[in-house]
Structure 1
Amino acid sequence: MGAGLLLRLLLLAGAVSVPAAGPGGSHSYRSFYTGVSDPGPDLPAFTALSYVDDQQILHYDSETQRVEPRADWVQGAVDPDYWDRETETLQGWEQKFGVKLRTLQFRYNQTGGSHTLQLMYSCELGEDGSPGAYVKLGYDGRDFLSYDPKKRTWAAAPAETQVTQRRLNEYKAFLQSAATYMEETCIEWLRKYLQHGKAALQSKHPVAQVNDRLSSRDGLTTLSCWVHGFYPKDVAVVWLKNGEAQPQETSRSRVLPSGDGTYQIWATIKINPSRSHDYTCSVEHVSLGAALRVALDKSRVEPEFNLMLITGLVVTVVLVVAVSGSAVSFLRRQGVGYRAAPGSTTTPTPT
């Protein structure tokens, strides 16, 4: 599935778009098209990205000039000629975005600066299998036109786009094409992607590991909970003290990809090791029937004892080295050296 008739008519009609989060649903297909008037080394003039749920599956930009898959399983969902067709289509959209950017700058009397033209569309399947769809349009970060699939009409935000809105709503053939694409064609492609990506897109249970470490600066112990191996991305992690959630005291990292299609996150909490409390890491995820809870193992060696043990070992080593160094220094002052005799570990032998 590529730009399609819907996106072609959108740009021909003078509409623009900006990425936006869509309504909730169990599965979604989303595409983002972005054009910039002032490209740079890390900012191509045109970029197109497509996602199934939160997994990127397609990529195109004006530097590579080629549509590339971003997930291995996508290959099985399309025919071999798909990539050539999509590449040709998006090369055309790249040119149209350039033209539309210049047109919009002229319309808004903008003679310089950096400007952005973006388009985003999405079709979705809810948890009950009900379909949904929407299109968001904008320029320089401003929402000004969107498609309402229930009313099958276009709605404009600022007054400047009401002329475009009326033009789109009066174009009955366009409205029918938009409805057919978003309600049927896009949903068919989403179902096809879900079928071929079933293994990659299915929920995966999180694994949680708990450990602690002593902070030398403030004497507090930091409990760390590493949650990994889960999919999809959304997860809730909080530390419990004596069974009570501690959301304010829990510090969480960002949810990061693990590189194998799953995600990971860290949650930490600082505690006073001298006080006796039970601490448990609680994880909530769509793949779990109930919250996953992993308690800190209090049977392990306490941090204070670990610190004393390490300190004692260091002191012992220092004393041994100091004593040995004094003995060697004394022998050398006496002009006598020593080495272990062959086959012996105790008898010194003059050199």
Structure 2
Amino acid sequence: MEEMYGLILILLTVPAGYCDSHSLRYYYTGVTAPGYGLPEFSIVGYVDDQQTELYSSDIRRTVPVAWWVKKNAKPEHWERETQLDKANEALFRHEVKIVMARLNHTGGFHIVQVMHSCELRDDGSTVVYEHFRYDGREYMYLDIQTATFIPTMAEAQITTQKWNRADIRRGERYKNYLENKCIEVLKRYIEYGREDLERRVRPGVKVTGRESGEVTKLHCLVYGFHPRAVDVKWMKNGIDDIPSYETTHVLPNPDGTYQVRVTVEVIPIEGDTYSCYVDHSSLEEPLLVKWEQKQISFRPVIISVAAIIVLVLAAAGIIKYKSVRNEQTA
């Protein structure tokens, strides 16, 4: 099941989180045939970075996951959610067939995903999203301003035209849910899990460099931080951003914290400095950790040469002493 969650989060990208905000996201995933460890249908809920609940066609029920959800939500709540999610499963299976037909796919393994999300920021403002993907590509989304569905693939035009019809007005229903019910549930979950969700752990930072000819590859490892949202980048002379050569995803640690690594390639010039910039909600102000270029030191070489000279002279002295003594003895 962990493989399933990883695939969902990779294929269905999430808009970047706003500092000190909270978000509630639901991922609906349907596949055209069993495979890759995925059930034919699943719903996974997240508040920020913590999984709150799960429904799948394998278990046929909705279950709480986060400990603070298990503690606070009552059994009758999960009974109601199970009935709703069973209905969602039937509807989604139908939609999967429609999307396949639109793209002229009659078989094979394909994945249809929908993500809806609502975000509550610390200033009280809200942001909501609704995205639809097929095999990892977005094919349509809900424009919240106009409450209309916008196709991003030609094959989605028939569906968006149907859903936008005045007698259906599906966009308005989705918009109303996201801006009201979704925010209401999010606020309740924030109260349930405030201890975990608002935990602040300062990041550790380690910078290293590896030279290869004229080019030096600089690595900035930021680790042990919580919550997940973080801004990491390399800077030249403390002011200029350097385009990243490689950035990993923000990865979870076993203790519930996170890590990320940002790498750049530079050609160091005398007088230039390179620093890793880290901004996180646990910090009063951003960190700027400087990369210290290693200088070649001749001191160990000098000491070694001096030691060798002393040994040679000592050996020569011993030989001379023995030679003189032998002459005197003779």
Q: Is the 8 A contact 1:229 1:263 kept in 2?
A: yes
Aligned to 2:226: 231
What are the residue-to-residue correspondences of 1:115-126 with 2, within 5 Å? 115-126=110-121
Alignment of 1:1-351 (within 5 A): 19=12, 21-22=14-15, 25=18, 26-106=21-101, 109-140=104-135, 143-156=138-151, 158=154, 159-167=157-165, 169-171=166-168, 177-202=173-198, 204-210=200-206, 225-239=220-234, 243=238, 247=242, 252-267=247-262, 280-295=275-290
Once the two structures are TM-superposed, the CA of residue 190 in structure 1 deviates from its matched residue by 0.8
Shift of 1:33: 0.6
- Name the TM-score, length of structure 2 as normaliser: 0.66
Q: Secondary structure of 1:228's match?
A: strand
Q: Supply the distance in 2 between the matched residues of 1:282 and 1:199 (Cα, whole angstroms).
A: 28
| TM-score for both structures, normalised by structure 1 | 0.63
Distance 1:49 1:306, change over 3 A: farther
Give, as a single letter, the amino acid of the residue that structure 2 aligns with 1:135. Answer: E
Say which is worse superposed, 136-145 or 58-67, in terms of deviation. Answer: 136-145
Structure-2 change in CA distance of 1:84 and 1:259 (3 Å): farther
Q: Deviations over 1:77-133 (max 9, x none)?
A: 422333343334333433333333335445665432333332221222234212333
Give the direction of change, closer, same or farther, for the CA distance of 1:141–1:170 in structure 2 (3 Å limit).
Answer: farther
Q: Residues of 2 paired with 1:282 and 1:195: CA distance?
A: 33
Deviations 1:120-179 (A, max 9, x none): 212222342123333233545564544343334444554322541344x3236x666444
Q: Is the 8 A contact 1:144 1:161 kept in 2?
A: no
**Deviation at residue 276 of structure 1 after TM alignment:** 8.8
Q: Give the aligned partner of residue 328 of structure 1.
A: none
Q: Which secondary structure state, in structure 1, belongs to the residue aligned with residue 282 of structure 2?
A: coil
Offset at residue 40 of structure 1 (A) = 0.9
Unaligned runs of 5+ in 2: 1-10, 305-330
Query: What is the DSSP-based 3-state SS (H/G/I as helix, E as strand, rest coil) of the residue aligned with 1:188?
Result: helix
Q: Report SS of the residue matched to 1:81.
A: helix
- Output one character per residue of 1:43-74: Cα deviation in whole Å (capped at 9) or x when no partner: 32112111222333223333343434342222
Structure 1 match to 2:328: none
Q: Secondary structure of the residue that 2:158 maps to in structure 1?
A: helix
Q: Which amino acid aligns with 2:90?
A: Q
Render the CA deviation track for 1:215-267: whole Å, top value 9, x for unaligned.
8x879998764422323333333456664657358765442212233211245
* 1:33 and 1:119 in contact (8 A); partners too: yes
Contact 1:212 1:221 in 2 (8 A): no
Aligned length: 288
Name the aligned partner's letter for residue 85 of structure 2: L
Paired AA for residue 184 in structure 1? N
Task: Report the CA distance between 1:296 and its aligned residue.
Answer: 6.3
CA distance in 1, matches of 2:59, 2:186: 26
Structure 2 counterpart SS, 1:289: coil
Which region of structure 1 is more displaced relative to structure 2, 47-56 or 130-139? 130-139
Distance 2:194 2:98 in 1: 43
Q: 1:308 to 1:33 in 2, by over 3 A?
A: farther
CA RMSD of superposed structures (Å): 4.2
Native 8 Å contact 1:251 1:268 kept in 2 = yes
